[in-house]
Amino acid sequence: MHTIPGRETRIHAGGRRRAPRLVLAYVDGSWSDRIAARRVEVQSQGREITLTLELAARAKPHNGAALAALRELARKQLSLESVQLTRPRMVARLREELRHAGNVVIRVRLLAPGVEVEYPGCVTLGPDAVKLTFG
């Protein structure tokens, strides 16, 4: 699978299993792993790639801690430092997309209840995770 300029690629994040866990880190040192990527899209436009993550509470909807993590994201969306994706299959697909894209500008768009924000991003491809750092 290669990113074609002007095209959109969806990376299936959910399915029968639970949506992949994300680790969100904030500039104040706090972090949360109670948020999941329900849907991931990679969109290529010229020399820019936009990675869109649709976020949801990782646990059952009535779980107070998961809902608190979404509220925290809405409150701290401008102080988000990084997002780490760890599901092996999703990491492999993202790694492949980004390798074939070459030298491009990365933008990361986060969508969640009460949150729609876009960041300039830097991608670190680790051996078992993809880390998106903002700012």
State residue 28's pLDDT score: 96
Question: pLDDT tens digits, residue range 24-67?
Answer: 999 999 999 989 998 888 888 888 889 899 998 887 666 688 78
State the DSSP H helix or E strand holding residue 69, giving kind and residue range, or none if neither: helix 64-76
Per-residue pLDDT band at 2 (split at 50, 70, 90): very low
Q: Where are the domains of the chain?
A: 8-134
Tokens of 112: 């969640």
Is the pTM of the predicted complex or chain greater than 0.85? Answer: no
Let me know the angle formed at the C-alpha of 93 by 87 and 94, rounded to the nearest 5 degrees: 85
How many angstroms separate the CA atoms of 110 and 117, rounded? Answer: 5
Question: pLDDT tens digits, residue range 11-21?
Answer: 555 444 567 78
Q: What is the DSSP letter of 2?
A: -
Query: Three-class SS string for 73-107?
Result: HHHHHHHEEEEEECCHHHHHHHHHHHHHHCCCEEE
Tokens of 127: 């051996």
